[in-house]
Chain A
Amino acid sequence: MSDLLRNIIRFAVFILVQVYILNKMPHLHRFITPYIYFLFILWLPFTISRFGLLVIGFVTGLTLDYFTMTPGLHAAACTLIAYVRPFVINVLTPKDSSEFNYREPSPKAMQWTPYAVYVFVLTLLHHGYMVFLEWLDVGNFLDFIIKVIATTGISLLLIFMVELLFPRQLKFRTNTA
């Protein structure tokens, strides 16, 4: 399967799961909204250009926004993590291995610890920024802090469940291929 087709399918699946399962099911608590759709951005290939990444992030967020009737909220958060992603990847991978052996970020491609840090940082940024934008309208500061921590926790749990349940079949990239 080509990268393009694979990512288009992923995009549709992530958005539909987010809109029709996670946003629909009764929540554990009013602070805890499980989010997973932004994993799509985290899983995009390494080779994608930074500008392309930004545009894809914006479009992803906006698509979700149209379903939740909050134009701009998720788009802003997604654009932010799409912008920060290349920096985080640069910091977390060794300098000498400028060539990646795998196509996209995964526990296999980056080792578990750097991958976990990568996911944690971007998840926290996404939720922090999004809840902050919501909080500008209404809310108090304690709510804000608890909400960021709780949603980040539940999202990390979901993401690692996805990683363990659906290991991606990634081919090792060699020069001969």
Chain B
Amino acid sequence: MRNVLLFIRRYRTFFAFLILQGVALWFLFSYNRFHRAKFLGVANEVTGVINSQYNKVEDYFTLREENKRVNRLNDSLLNLLPSHYGRRDTTVSAVQDSVPYDTLGHYRRYFSRPATVVYNTVNSQKNYIQLNRGANQGIKDNMAVLGSDGSAVGVVVNVSPNFSQAMSLLHVQHKVNASLKKSGNFGTVEWDGKDPRYLTLRGIPQSVEVNKGDTVLTSTYSFNFPPGHMVGYIDEVIKDKSTNFYVLKIRTAANFFNLQQVHVIENVERDEQWQLMQDTKNKIEQGKKAPK
């Protein structure tokens, strides 16, 4: 026993090294979308404060372009205002009805909240976007993040009281359901971790006609993203010989290099949809175990 203690004492730096390495590797491999280390919430608060200070300065450099994008989106929204039809004198602001149902039976499916990006990278293989809104401001996990021009950017994966962290589309573990605008075929958009300007769309069968320049939109099957928002344009069409599917290279619609203002979109019925899916799964599996 004494020898063991002596041995440990003699090599105590080496053991300390092993322990610290172990801790670091444990952090590294236990952190992913589904199993998150809790302390990141606290660290988020600290880095978030520094990031938002830095962001105040940085925002000035991209204001011109950002303004253009916001203006373009505002313009397209203004064109949709009911007051823009049939009246010469139009009011400037639209009144938001607080009742979720309107008289025609339309109900609200998605709710949008504005947010500012305080930190964002494109250089890593796992890029995250930090936003200046958190749980106290109504952000929850799995909300979709759209750019200021309405294009798909990411999904919220972690929230602290005042900040939230979204997984960018430029994240090798991120998969988003998307569809071709022209034919409506569904596929999965993912990133190969190489060029931040391009994404990959898989799962479109080769029987569908696909051309360079076709538009890719978020699909109606996604639980997180509202349908019909731009993901990108097809840049290159590759026919995969081993399967019957295309591998489509997509140029992203959102410019990840200068994200600034974003919209965080909440699917109001997500919990219900998710619950139904889980219940169905449970029901079917139980049915298998105890056949009637």
User: Is B43 within 8 A of A76, CB to CB?
Assistant: no
The segment from A37-45, A132-140, A163-171 that touches chain B is A132-140
The segment from B124-132, B142-150, B202-210 that touches chain A is B124-132
Give A41-81 interface residues, CB cut-off 8 Å to B.
50-51, 54-55, 57-58, 61-62, 65-73, 75-76, 79-80
CA distance A72 to B257 in the complex (A): 26
* Min C-beta distance of B3 to chain A, whole Å: 22
User: Is B17 within 8 A of A71, CB to CB?
Assistant: no
User: Is B195 within 8 A of A30, CB to CB?
Assistant: yes
- Contact A83 to B165, CB < 8 A, known contacts A33-B123, A70-B126: no
- Contact A76 to B24, CB < 8 A, known contacts A67-B47, A69-B165, A138-B172: yes
User: Is B13 within 8 A of A66, CB to CB?
Assistant: no
- Contact A76 to B194, CB < 8 A, known contacts A54-B16, A71-B31: no
Give B194-234 interface residues, CB cut-off 8 Å to A.
194-196
CA distance A134 to B165 in the complex (A): 21
The number of chain B residues touching the other chain, given as a range, is 35 or more
User: Residue A72 contacts which of B12, B31, B194, B195 (CB distance < 8 angstroms)?
Assistant: B31
A75: B residues at CB distance < 8 A? 20, 23-24, 27
A57: B residues at CB distance < 8 A? 20
User: Residue A58 contacts which of B20, B46, B121 (CB distance < 8 angstroms)?
Assistant: B20
Summed over the interface, the residue pairs from A and B with CB atoms below 8 Å come to a total of 88
Q: Does A94 contact B (CB under 8 A)?
A: no
User: Residue B13 contacts which of A50, A65, A133 (CB distance < 8 angstroms)?
Assistant: A50
CA distance A68 to B172 in the complex (A): 15
- Contact A137 to B128, CB < 8 A, known contacts A76-B25, A79-B17: no
* Min C-beta distance of A73 to chain B, whole Å: 6
Q: Does B26 contact A (CB under 8 A)?
A: yes
Q: Mark B55-87, 1 if CB is under 8 A from A, else 0.
A: 000000000000000000000000000000000
User: Residue B12 contacts which of A30, A51, A55 (CB distance < 8 angstroms)?
Assistant: A51
Q: Does B238 contact A (CB under 8 A)?
A: no
User: Is A61 within 8 A of B24, CB to CB?
Assistant: yes
User: Is A79 within 8 A of B193, CB to CB?
Assistant: no
Q: Does B54 contact A (CB under 8 A)?
A: yes
Q: Does A20 contact B (CB under 8 A)?
A: yes
Q: Could you list 16 examples of A-B contacts with CB < 8 Å?
A: A23-B123, A27-B123, A30-B195, A51-B12, A55-B20, A57-B20, A58-B20, A58-B23, A66-B46, A66-B47, A68-B124, A69-B165, A70-B28, A72-B28, A72-B31, A133-B25
The 7 closest A-B pairs by CB, nearest first: A72-B27, A72-B28, A76-B24, A71-B27, A75-B24, A72-B24, A66-B43
